[in-house]
Amino acid sequence: MSDERLGFETRAIHSGQKPDPRTGAVIVPIYATSTYAQDGVGGLREGGYEYSRTANPTRTALEECLASLEGTRHALAFASGMAATDVALRTLCRPGDHVVIPNDAYGGTFRLIDKVLAQWGVEHTPVDLSNVDSVRAAIRPTTKVIWCETPTNPLLGIADIPALAALAREHGAKFVVDNTFATPYLQSPADLGADIVLHSTTKYLGGHSDVVGGALLTSDSELNERFDFLRNGAGAVPGPFDAYLTLRGVKTLAVRMERHCDNAERVVEALRGHEKVTHVYYPGLAEHPGHEVAAKQMRRFGGMVSFTCKGGVDEALRVAAGTKLFILGESLGGVESLIEHPGKMTHASTAGSMLQVPDDLVRLSVGIEDGTDLVADLLNALG
């Protein structure tokens, strides 16, 4: 991208988003059109648009902005994070190939690999990604992908991105980093050696819990073309209104993330040492086993916090249902704070598998409300 010397906040607001040349509209229009007039057969106008499954100008603006923020040459927007995941895995793997995945992978990612791609003969091994040796031990001659989330969901584990990138390169596998939790504001996986960066833009990038979307980013032009081919072939594209909403959210990503981090730190401080809390999971804590690695590869430590309850599963369920400001719900990364019980909600599908989570665990997506109100709400729910 030509804007690479500009600061992050500037690129979030301007990259891919020049005022409309015809009217001067400052905001990229919502191009609600499925098709485009041609000046003679094959005579496409500026941008080469012919059909909106293939490309749409509102979507192009979002893609240019996302590529600029992640520091990659290319970005492709999708109808959801799972659609992006599906295209990445089906492009990179054939029957008989093998994928290394985190042993606390996002539940939907695990389900797609374990329940859908497995039927097409794609094999997988879940491992603790914070342990480079166990990742190395899981690699087979058929390993095509090492799939990484850092921080992980919901236990906020940290993987060493440069170390895993080097390991993948050594074994000829592609290294994919799902950067949904950290966002490009806090962490730049492509700069650290990732071949491919993936987002659920539903979360912090959109940031307002009003749109579902995904993105796949890479600087490998050949790979990007293959992703684009399958996206166009299978059709999991976002509509122009979704692209507009996501782009609107991205403009404020930097200021939102600073506030998410400020509030998360205050919540962590309040939970730590609370008599009803046994453990707080947050990579910003010096005692977190991944703290040193996180401090090297993240600008700050994000807005996600998990904790376990002394009173076990019953207490965890009571706390999750007992807040007034933290809304009981799945998802994360919006301006409003959310609380959930992973064992019975987001991670219910992992029950009985290697990815099962502790049943006394509560997960918070700390929003950007007044931090004092958030802390008071949690303390009140804990009782």
In single-letter form, the type of residue at position 160 comes to D
Residue (211 or 277) nearer to ligand PLP, CB: 211
Taking the complex as a whole, the smallest distance from the CB of residue 246 to ligand PLP amounts, in Å, to 11
- What tokens does 42 get? 């094959």
306 near ligand PLP, judged by CB under 6 A = no
Tokens of 132: 């480079």
Respond yes or no: is residue 106 known to be catalytic. yes
Residue from 81, 189, 303, 371 touching ligand PLP (CB under 6 A): that is: 81
Report if residue 242 touches ligand PLP, rule: CB under 6 A: no
| Residue of this chain nearest to ligand PLP (CB atom) | 81
| Under rule CB under 6 A, residue 150 binds ligand PLP | no
Q: How many other C-beta atoms can be found within 10 angstroms of the C-beta atom of residue 22?
A: 7
At closest approach, how far in Å is the CB of 178 from ligand PLP? 5
Active-site pick, 11, 59, 174, 203: 203
Residue 214 CB, nearest distance to ligand PLP (Å)?
A: 5
- Of residues 68, 153, 187, 308, which one binds ligand PLP by CB under 6 A? 153
Is residue 212 a contact residue for ligand PLP (CB under 6 A)? Answer: yes
Reply yes or no on whether 318 is catalytic.
no
In angstroms, what is the minimal distance from the CB of 362 to ligand PLP?
17
Residue 244 known to be catalytic: no
DSSP result, 115-173? IIGGGGT-EEEEE-TT-HHHHHHH--TTEEEEEEESS-TTT-----HHHHHHHHHHTT-
State the alpha helices, DSSP H only, in the chain.
Answer: 8-14, 57-70, 81-92, 107-111, 132-138, 161-170, 183-186, 221-234, 240-250, 253-271, 291-297, 312-322, 371-382
The pair of structure tokens assigned to 338 is: 């959310």
Q: What is the DSSP string of 199-230?
A: EETTTTTT-SSS---EEEEES-HHHHHHHHHH
Binding site for ligand PLP (CB under 6 A): 80-82, 106, 108-109, 149, 153, 178, 180-181, 200, 202-203, 212, 214
Residue numbers annotated as active site: 53, 106, 178, 203
